[in-house]
Amino acid sequence: MRRPFDVKVIRNDFPVLAREVNGKPLAYLDNAASAQKPDAVIDAMANQARTSYANVHRGLHTMANETTEKFEAARRRVAGFLNAPSPDNIVFTRGATEGINIVANGIADDLKPGDEIVLSIMEHHSNIVPWHFLRERYGIVLRWVGLNADGTLDMDALAEAIGPQTRFVALSHMSNVLGTISDGAEIVRLAHNVGARVLLDGCQAAVHLDVDVTLLGCDFYVFSGHKLYGPTGIGVLYGAPEQLDRLRPFQGGGEMIEIVEIDRVTYNVAPHKFEAGTPPILEAIGLGAAIDWYAQFDLADIIAHEAKLYQRACAGIAGINGLKIHGTAPNKGAVLSFSIEGVHPHDLAQLIDRYGVAIRAGHHCAQPLMQHLGCSASARASFGIYNTVSEVDQFLDALDKARNMLV
């Protein structure tokens, strides 16, 4: 049953939001880095640990069976959230970073020197460095696609970059810096036309968009739980069935094997083939609880609420001399990255914190994008389901005071 969207009521689900920072009410605007956790997630993990914790899959006793059922129920919940064909398409990882590394490691056997992987300059380092490993170790060529002036992916350049040598395309579904939302289905179409596979980084998109991997048609999709109001230490790798079967294992150990003998080893089927050792059991259960909590609300209401906050913030900074907003794409996500001429973002973030406002400052794990933007770092305010208009105004007031101290 849907809950009415009432941000005041929603905030009651998040105990941390009642605290003060430096004597001021907390205005947490760092959601693109990591979101806060509702009681539903905290309680699900704590209750499991208190009442029925055991290792999963390999036990026959009652608590092992109970914990396994909760763990696999979370996998089913994630599959439904992404509209994956089957829970077997869902691999639990430590985070999106591990998911991308699993794929990069797994496709290496299919590549030869001179094969090309297409990336964009707005990728997070997690979707850059694993592909550099293939460049360094196997002679793979990385092809880079640029952006339009408003921060949108240059689709003409992408179409030109994808060619006969393209074997893989790895792109963000939504930028963590610019908020740009790319056309995932069109990216997949262009890549599949030349027989290339596609991975979409959905760390930001999973919490701001209705993600349907079946409609997207992508071969792989990754996201992390902690941006979706869930725990840290848990992520998801979705893989189309034939694609997961094709990947070699990433790590060896328990659970991922079928038979181990002195002179041979055979591997388990997906998803277990990629879940070596004891998995993040409580974290997976927490992620399932986060998705259940989030699904109580109409996504259209969430998107409209976050867009209202973003637009109010943009209007509030519009007249600041020397301020530049990075990323002005239409229908972008609620991520506001900006620079002020003569002001270092780190200094700005520290001064704003004095007024209880938490924003991010730095290169946001996107150094190629920073180079493209002509700056070494930027400030970023990112909005979530529990943020309010008054918090935006608190941010604008703190920004004004901090800028006056620095300029």
Domain ranges (residues) in the chain: 7-30+298-406, 43-294
Separation between Cα atoms, residue 296 and residue 104, nearest integer Å: 35
* CATH 3.60.21.10 given to domain 7-30+298-406: no
Closest CA to 91 of 201, 236, 226: 236
pLDDT in tens, the chain (407 residues): 789 999 999 999 999 999 999 999 999 999 999 999 999 999 999 999 999 999 999 888 999 999 999 999 999 999 999 999 999 999 999 999 999 999 999 999 999 999 999 999 999 999 999 999 999 999 999 999 999 999 999 999 999 999 999 999 999 999 999 999 999 999 999 999 999 999 999 999 999 999 999 999 999 999 999 999 999 999 999 999 899 999 999 999 999 899 999 999 999 999 999 999 999 999 999 999 999 999 999 999 999 999 999 999 999 999 899 999 999 999 999 999 999 999 999 999 999 999 999 999 999 999 999 999 999 999 999 999 999 999 999 999 999 999 989 87
What is the per-residue pLDDT for 407?
A: 72
What is the per-residue pLDDT for 375?
A: 94
Separation between Cα atoms, residue 177 and residue 378, nearest integer Å: 9
What is the per-residue pLDDT for 402?
A: 94
User: What's the CATH code, domain 43-294?
Assistant: 3.40.640.10
Separation between Cα atoms, residue 307 and residue 333, nearest integer Å: 7
For residue 272, what is the DSSP state? G
**Neighbouring-strand partners of residue 117:** 142, 168
Q: Which residues lie closer than 8 Å to 273 by C-beta, 6 or more apart? A: 244, 247, 249, 256, 267
Please check whether residue 286 is in contact with residue 225, taking contact to mean a CB–CB distance below 8 angstroms: yes
Separation between Cα atoms, residue 323 and residue 383, nearest integer Å: 20
Q: Helices in 261-321 by DSSP H: which ranges?
A: 281-294, 299-317
Positions marked catalytic: 365
Please check whether residue 234 is in contact with residue 280, taking contact to mean a CB–CB distance below 8 angstroms: yes
Closest CA to 206 of 166, 176, 178: 176
What is the per-residue pLDDT for 2?
A: 87
Q: Helices in 193-235 by DSSP H: which ranges?
A: 205-208, 213-216
**Neighbouring-strand partners of residue 27:** 357
Please check whether residue 385 is in contact with residue 307, taking contact to mean a CB–CB distance below 8 angstroms: no
φ, ψ (nearest 5 deg) of residue 362 = 145, -160
